[in-house]
């Protein structure tokens, strides 16, 4: 997804599907190019946020304006431009049993 045409959508209800999110965006008269609800890789449960990408920067801004503060499935969602993910730090977590 191109960062300047991508939005972050937070405070989603945990049962919300990608199709539900796409439909909510389309109800505002905006057609997303791609929609993803982020899920926990172990449980498959939604993490409560997602992303949507649009064809143009104008559509991206229109989506932010139309959706930010909008209620979706009983929750007020937060919408803004997506930021690049910061690289994760490797904290080591494991133990070296090699005897060195």
pLDDT for the residue numbered 78: 98
Structure confidence at residue 93 (pLDDT): 58
pLDDT tens readout for residues 25-54: 999 999 999 999 999 999 999 999 999 999
Of the two residues 99 and 24, the one the predictor is more confident about is 24
CB 49 within 8 A of CB 85: no
Q: What is the pLDDT of residues 5-27, one digit of tens each?
A: 999 999 999 999 999 999 999 99
**What are the CA-CA distances from residue 9 to residues 36, 71, 74, 78, 93 (Å)?**
10, 12, 15, 6, 31
| CATH code, residues 3-81 | 3.30.70.330
Choose between 56 and 91: higher pLDDT.
56
């Amino acid at each position: 997804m191109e960062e300047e045409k991508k939005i972050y959508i937070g405070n989603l209800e945990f049962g919300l599907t990608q199709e539900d999110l796409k439909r909510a965006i389309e109800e505002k008269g905006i057609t997303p190019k791609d929609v993803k609800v982020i899920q926990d890789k172990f449980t498959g449960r939604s993490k409560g946020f997602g992303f949507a990408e649009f064809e143009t920067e104008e559509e991206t801004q229109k989506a932010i304006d139309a959706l930010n503060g909008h209620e979706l499935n009983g929750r007020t969602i937060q919408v803004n431009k997506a930021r690049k993910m910061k690289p994760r730090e490797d904290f080591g977590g494991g133990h070296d049993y090699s005897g060195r």
